[in-house]
Structure 1
Amino acid sequence: MKNETSLTPEEVAGILKIAKNTVYELIKRGELPAYRIGRKIRIDLQDVENYKKQGKKTEHLPETTPAGRITAGTKPSIEGQTAFSGLVICGQDVLLDILTRHLERHPNGTRAFRHYVGSFSGLLALYQEKADMSAVHLWDGDTGVYNIPYVRRLLPGIPAVIIHLACRMQGFYALKGNPKGIKQWQDLTRPDISFINREKGCGTRVLLDEKLRVLGIDRRQINGYKREENSHLAIASAVARGEADTGLGIEKAALQVRGIEFVPLHKERYELVIKKEDLEKPHFQAVIEILQSEEFKRELQGLGDYDLTETGKIVAEV
């Protein structure tokens, strides 16, 4: 790829550390120039670089008013647009990209700005009133409960509701055939195993660190613990390229990267956090209606790695 100036959507997704579907959405909205060669879509490397440079100027969480509340005029501009009136949704799963698309078509919907950050950063943005909702998957090793303990601690004094999105399977990525026989958490300390980690604050990193704590595993014995990537796809790709023997992530990324085998370990709950005071507002009601709709669930079923049994259900008021 070093000498190429024409990139596939998959290659652009790798460069920007986003899902391939998000690349298509950027192209569809005219935010990333693209062209066709036959039936194939291509993007010039220079246009990708220009998009990244523009992002450094405009891709930030919203500024707040003196009272700390976001107004439509202070939400982030998108590729030079002067104002953004809509919702700010934090989280990284492609499920949220699909939700955003459905939200734009809903009678009571709106446009949404997708901010690709981990669970801790998303909850912090919600607390600081720089986001309207955040997807989280944070496992508490003491209780075995997902998300509720963290929402209580990171949104102090703010009543919130947790809406279930999907259950996903977390596990190890390994080369096809799993030549090193990586099967359990303790295998990470083996001297013949190299690991690549997720960034601090994301749900996958929290799961790993909590498992290590509960099992009494010394993270200093893990070769590669301090090496980090910012997405499931980037971790799976690094393993496929031989840069590490294994990494932790969700099953869907293993289905997207050639030569990768998935070793399932832990079923997680991926959920959406909304302030209770916003719940009855039309845009937020639209989100719940979409999540509960059969149309939305059918679209997710084709992607794999989602258990949709409780999708759209309010599972907790915190």
Structure 2
Amino acid sequence: MANDISYTTEEIAKILKISKLTVYDLIKKGELPAYRVGRQMRVDAEDLEQYKHRAKGNPIRTYAKPDEKVQASSGKKTIVITGQDVSLDILTKHIEKHTQAYRPLRSHVGSLDSLISMYQGQADLVSTHLLDGDTGVYNVPYIQKLLVGFPYIVINLVSRAAGFYVQKGNPKQIHHWRDLTRAGVKMVNREKGSGARVLLDEQLRILGISSKEIDGYTHEESNHLGVAGKVATGQADVGVGIEKAAYLVGVDFIPFIQERYDLVMIKSPQNMAWIELVRSILGSEDFKNELRSIQGYDLSLTGKVMIEVE
């Protein structure tokens, strides 16, 4: 039956030819009713058609909704949480555990695009790990430039090692950024705007290396596991990412830097209640103990305020 058809947020984005973050923004504003199935948000086909009719200025038909659907009119505030790390999934679970007042939506978007989406009002809690090569400082230089004029708070979630994925035994003997330019070395890259891509591009800029010298620079994957997987199957010799994915996929890892993975939140009056909830969760032993069970995290800064702007 047509009325039984529903779509994921990814499918809605493709149908409407918009970004996933725009879909989440429509859900957040109540313009596109959605409900949760497990960890996934879904939109019914009839609700999508109603939205399209409204966008065209046409009269629409009103449909009855099943009682179990979580609609925007339920009074719950939607919080769009961006980023790809599993620590964010754990944080989302703890938010849902501690209150029924908020409905977290997870959007798997890279660090730079996440900050831009926050500036545009499409994201509420943004994760970022962007290295400024000139200062050696993570995140704050980018946040200060993009969120100028906004009151915000930046809190550390975790720290983690970033470096090279190489095949077992490192047969190509890849140890330095300059090794990426050697003949016979093929890399796989992350997408533009991701923290790993910024780390690579900043190192190339500082060392005066052209991306054109690197075989595979334009071959992009959208997450750490995708990069590590290409190395594991021999489709690439090297990729840049975080340590945890190396353990999961089964490749060797060469650490280069301890990166800071921070959370950014806009301090508007309507956000303060859930920001305090997030701060409480980050400081709780229950949350930290769950993170400790995952290899590759440094929790020495977890919950620490890195910068706060009024």
**Normalization by structure 1: what TM-score?**
0.77
Deviation at 1:70? Answer: 9.1
RMSD: 2.6
Aligned residues of 1:168 and 1:250 also touching (Cα < 8 A): yes
Corresponding position of 1:310: 301
Once the 2 structures are TM-superposed, how far is the Cα of residue 52 of structure 1 from its aligned partner?
Answer: 5.7
Structure 1 residue identity aligned to 2:30: G
Query: For residue 165 of structure 1, what is the aligned residue in structure 2?
Result: 157
How far, CA to CA, are the matches of 1:166 and 1:261 in structure 2?
22
Quickly say closer, same or farther: Cα 1:153–1:129, change in 2 above 3 A. same
Give identity over the alignment, percent: 47
Determine if contact 1:108/1:286 at 8 Å carries over to the other structure: no
Q: Does the CA contact (< 8 Å) of 2:9 and 2:24 recur in 1?
A: no
Judge conservation of contact 1:170–1:264 (CA < 8 Å) in 2: yes
Deviations 1:187-208 (CA, angstroms, capped at 9, x unpaired): 1011120000000011110010
1:262-273 matches, cutoff 5 A: 262-273=253-264
Amino acid at match of 1:200: K
TM, length-normalised to structure 2: 0.79
The correspondence of residues 15-26 of structure 1 with structure 2, limited to 5 A, is none
Aligned-partner Cα distance in 2 for 1:92–1:76: 24
Q: Is 1:142 the counterpart of 2:134 in the alignment?
A: yes
The structural deviation recorded for 1:156 is: 2.3
State the alpha-carbon separation in 1 of the partners of residues 28 and 255 from structure 2. 43
Matched, 1:83 2:71: yes
Q: Which runs of 5+ in 1 are unaligned?
A: 1-46
Give the Å deviation of 1:51: 8.4
Trace 1:96-111 onto structure 2 (pairs within 5 A). Answer: 96-107=88-99, 110-111=102-103
Q: Is residue 2:277 matched to residue 1:292?
A: no
Q: Deviations over 1:162-189 (max 9, x none)?
A: 1101111101111111111111111101
Aligned length: 267
Q: Which runs of 5+ in 2 are unaligned?
A: 35-40, 44-68
- Cα contact 1:74–1:83 (8 A) shared by 2: no
Q: Paired residue for 2:222?
A: 230
Letter in 2 for 1:155: L
How much does 1:108 deviate?
6.8
Q: Label 1:76 to 1:247 Cα distance change in 2 as closer, same or farther (>3 A).
A: farther
Separation of aligned partners in 2, 1:272 and 1:244 = 32
Equivalent position amino acid for 2:20 in 1: H
Q: What is the SS of the residue equivalent to 1:242? A: coil
Residue in structure 2 matched with residue 130 of structure 1 by the alignment: 122
Deviation at 1:53, TM superposition (A): 3.8
Cα offset, 1:317, TM superposition? 1.8
Deviation, 1:279, is 8.4
The aligned residue for residue 256 of structure 1 is 248
Structure showing greater Rg:
2
1:61 aligned residue: 21
Aligned to 1:181, the other structure's residue is in SS state coil
Instruction: Report the Cα distance in structure 2 between the residues aligned to 1:137 and 1:109, rounded to whole angstroms.
Output: 29
Instruction: Judge conservation of contact 1:64–1:74 (CA < 8 Å) in 2.
Output: no
Which residue, out of 198, 204, 207, partners 1:212?
Answer: 204
In the TM superposition, residue 159 of structure 1 has moved relative to its aligned partner by: 2.0
Return the offset for 1:83.
3.2
Contact 2:131 2:195 in 1 (8 A): yes
